[in-house]
Amino acid sequence: MTTRTASRRRADERREYDAFMADCPARKLLDRISDKWVSLILTALAGGPMRYSDINRRIAGVSQKMLTQTLRTMERDGLLSRTVTASVPVRVDYRLTSLGESLLPLMAAVKAWAETHMPQVERAQAAYDEALAP
Protein backbone atom coordinates (compact mmCIF):
# COMPACT_ATOMS: atom_id res chain seq x y z
CA MET A 1 0.00 0.00 0.00
CA THR A 2 1.75 3.10 -1.23
CA THR A 3 -0.34 5.35 0.97
CA ARG A 4 1.08 3.55 3.98
CA THR A 5 4.61 3.84 2.70
CA ALA A 6 4.20 7.49 1.82
CA SER A 7 2.70 8.34 5.18
CA ARG A 8 5.40 6.34 6.92
CA ARG A 9 8.02 8.22 4.96
CA ARG A 10 6.46 11.54 5.86
CA ALA A 11 6.36 10.47 9.49
CA ASP A 12 10.06 9.65 9.38
CA GLU A 13 10.85 12.99 7.82
CA ARG A 14 8.79 14.70 10.46
CA ARG A 15 10.89 13.13 13.21
CA GLU A 16 12.83 16.08 14.44
CA TYR A 17 16.36 15.85 15.65
CA ASP A 18 17.52 18.81 17.70
CA ALA A 19 21.08 19.02 18.96
CA PHE A 20 19.97 21.56 21.57
CA MET A 21 18.25 18.69 23.38
CA ALA A 22 20.58 16.88 25.75
CA ASP A 23 19.47 13.34 24.98
CA CYS A 24 18.91 13.73 21.25
CA PRO A 25 20.97 11.32 19.14
CA ALA A 26 21.96 14.27 16.99
CA ARG A 27 23.75 15.76 20.00
CA LYS A 28 25.97 12.72 20.25
CA LEU A 29 26.55 12.69 16.50
CA LEU A 30 27.49 16.36 16.61
CA ASP A 31 29.91 15.49 19.39
CA ARG A 32 31.49 12.73 17.33
CA ILE A 33 32.00 14.80 14.19
CA SER A 34 33.12 17.86 16.15
CA ASP A 35 36.60 16.43 16.33
CA LYS A 36 39.80 17.66 14.77
CA TRP A 37 40.76 14.15 13.65
CA VAL A 38 37.46 13.78 11.81
CA SER A 39 38.07 17.09 10.02
CA LEU A 40 41.58 16.13 9.08
CA ILE A 41 40.73 12.60 7.96
CA LEU A 42 37.82 13.82 5.86
CA THR A 43 39.87 16.50 4.14
CA ALA A 44 42.78 14.11 3.70
CA LEU A 45 40.47 11.73 1.82
CA ALA A 46 39.05 14.52 -0.33
CA GLY A 47 41.39 13.65 -3.20
CA GLY A 48 40.38 10.00 -3.32
CA PRO A 49 41.02 6.73 -1.45
CA MET A 50 44.15 6.49 0.68
CA ARG A 51 46.02 3.75 2.44
CA TYR A 52 46.27 3.70 6.22
CA SER A 53 49.94 4.58 6.20
CA ASP A 54 49.37 7.44 3.78
CA ILE A 55 46.71 8.97 6.03
CA ASN A 56 49.02 8.45 8.99
CA ARG A 57 51.80 10.31 7.21
CA ARG A 58 49.53 13.07 5.96
CA ILE A 59 48.15 13.89 9.40
CA ALA A 60 51.22 14.75 11.44
CA GLY A 61 51.20 13.95 15.13
CA VAL A 62 48.29 11.53 15.21
CA SER A 63 48.88 8.37 17.21
CA GLN A 64 47.94 5.13 15.51
CA LYS A 65 45.51 4.46 18.30
CA MET A 66 43.58 7.67 17.68
CA LEU A 67 43.79 7.21 13.92
CA THR A 68 42.47 3.64 13.98
CA GLN A 69 39.85 4.51 16.57
CA THR A 70 38.59 7.53 14.64
CA LEU A 71 38.57 5.61 11.36
CA ARG A 72 36.49 2.86 13.00
CA THR A 73 33.94 5.29 14.38
CA MET A 74 33.69 7.07 11.04
CA GLU A 75 33.26 3.75 9.28
CA ARG A 76 30.51 2.77 11.70
CA ASP A 77 28.78 6.10 11.13
CA GLY A 78 28.90 5.44 7.40
CA LEU A 79 31.26 8.30 6.58
CA LEU A 80 33.86 6.10 4.96
CA SER A 81 34.41 2.55 3.80
CA ARG A 82 37.34 0.28 4.57
CA THR A 83 38.74 -2.13 2.00
CA VAL A 84 41.26 -4.82 2.84
CA THR A 85 43.37 -6.22 0.03
CA ALA A 86 44.76 -9.58 1.03
CA SER A 87 48.36 -9.40 -0.02
CA VAL A 88 51.71 -9.54 1.65
CA PRO A 89 51.91 -7.18 3.28
CA VAL A 90 48.25 -6.41 3.79
CA ARG A 91 46.90 -3.29 2.12
CA VAL A 92 44.00 -1.34 3.60
CA ASP A 93 42.30 1.50 1.76
CA TYR A 94 39.86 4.05 3.09
CA ARG A 95 37.50 6.04 0.91
CA LEU A 96 34.69 8.46 1.57
CA THR A 97 31.14 7.23 1.11
CA SER A 98 28.53 9.54 -0.41
CA LEU A 99 27.52 10.36 3.16
CA GLY A 100 31.09 11.27 3.97
CA GLU A 101 31.31 13.36 0.83
CA SER A 102 28.23 15.28 1.89
CA LEU A 103 29.98 16.21 5.14
CA LEU A 104 33.36 16.89 3.56
CA PRO A 105 32.72 20.42 2.22
CA LEU A 106 31.46 21.55 5.63
CA MET A 107 34.46 20.22 7.51
CA ALA A 108 36.85 21.45 4.84
CA ALA A 109 35.34 24.90 5.27
CA VAL A 110 35.84 24.78 9.04
CA LYS A 111 39.45 23.65 8.63
CA ALA A 112 40.04 26.40 6.05
CA TRP A 113 38.43 28.94 8.38
CA ALA A 114 40.84 28.00 11.16
CA GLU A 115 43.79 28.40 8.82
CA THR A 116 42.74 31.71 7.27
CA HIS A 117 41.56 33.41 10.46
CA MET A 118 44.56 32.58 12.63
CA PRO A 119 45.94 36.14 12.39
CA GLN A 120 42.69 37.64 13.64
CA VAL A 121 42.42 35.09 16.42
CA GLU A 122 45.99 35.72 17.53
CA ARG A 123 45.30 39.46 17.63
CA ALA A 124 42.16 38.87 19.67
CA GLN A 125 44.07 36.69 22.12
CA ALA A 126 46.82 39.27 22.49
CA ALA A 127 44.24 41.99 23.19
CA TYR A 128 42.42 39.79 25.70
CA ASP A 129 45.60 38.86 27.57
CA GLU A 130 46.79 42.45 27.49
CA ALA A 131 43.57 43.63 29.11
CA LEU A 132 44.01 41.11 31.91
CA ALA A 133 47.68 41.83 32.60
CA PRO A 134 48.13 45.54 31.73
Partner DNA sequence: CGGCATCCAGCGCGATACTG
Partner DNA sequence: CAGTATCGCGCTGGATGCCG
Residues of this chain that interact with a copy of itself (CB under 8 A) are 12, 15-23, 25-27, 29-31, 33-36, 38-40, 44, 58-61, 75-78, 99, 102-103, 106-107, 109-111, 113-125, 127-129
Nearest to 99, CA basis, from 125, 76, 121, 80: 80
Residue 7 Cβ vs DNA, minimum distance, rounded to whole Å: 39
Among a copy of itself, DNA, none, what binds residue 65 when CB lies within 5 to 8 Å by partner kind?
A: DNA
**With left for phi above 0 and alpha for psi between -120 and 50, is residue 78 left, alpha or beta?**
left
In the region spanning residues 43 to 102, those forming contacts with DNA, defined by CB under 7 A, are: 51-54, 56, 62-66, 68, 71-72, 82, 89-92
CA distance readout (Å), 46 to 57, 80, 121, 130: 15, 11, 27, 40
**Residues in the chain, overall count:** 134
Q: Which is nearer to DNA, 9 or 57 (CB)?
A: 57
Beta carbons within 8 Å of 89's beta carbon, 6+ residues apart: none
Residue 55 Cβ vs DNA, minimum distance, rounded to whole Å: 8
Among a copy of itself, DNA, none, what binds residue 128 when CB lies within 5 to 8 Å by partner kind?
A: a copy of itself
